[in-house]
Amino acid sequence: MTLSAGTPGIPRRLASMFYEALLLAAILFLAGFIFIAVFHPPLSPVLHTIFQLYLLLVTAIYFIWLWRHGGQTLPMKTWRLRLVGTGNKPVTLKQACLRFACAAIGIPLVFGILWALFDRDHQFWHDRMAGTKIVLSAEC
């Protein structure tokens, strides 16, 4: 793993997040299609709740798996970003799960992003809470 000096700026990380949202939408669309094909609408209130939990689980698996295996999603590779843990080491399972849980709360409520404006290292809230950080990667 080759890391270049410095922390990427907030605009670069936000651009990566926007790209991530587009890719994630496609993944969730496919996952939703499979669920609907199996359970056929109209969905009961119980199945609707299960469907939402299923999509959350698909999202969690997507991020946690990629963060643990290389520290990069496709958008992160495109923007030359890498997620690292303490001491620039690979992210642990605990850190990845905590980061996902905090991001699932902080990003929709926006404070997880705004946090970076006031953080001494300009880290997002979910990175600060999980003990992770985004660094520039010389590899693509």
At residue 3, the pLDDT reads 45
Residue 2 lies in a domain: no
Question: Would residue 37 count as lying in a domain?
Answer: yes
**Average pLDDT value for residue range 68-87:** 95
- Tell me how far CA of residue 55 lies from CA of 28, 36, 70, in angstroms: 7, 12, 23
Q: What is the pLDDT of residues 84-133, one digit of tens each?
A: 998 999 999 999 999 999 999 999 999 999 999 999 999 999 999 999 99
Beta-carbon count within 10 A of 39 CB: 15
| DSSP assigned state of 21 | H
Q: Is residue 104 part of a domain?
A: yes
Residue 4 counted as domain residue: no
Structure-block tokens of residue 108: 């929709």
- Indicate whether 3 belongs to any domain: no
Q: Residue 2: which pLDDT band, with cuts at 50, 70 and 90? A: very low
- Our count of domains for the chain comes to 1
Question: Containing domain of residue 130, as a range?
Answer: 10-136
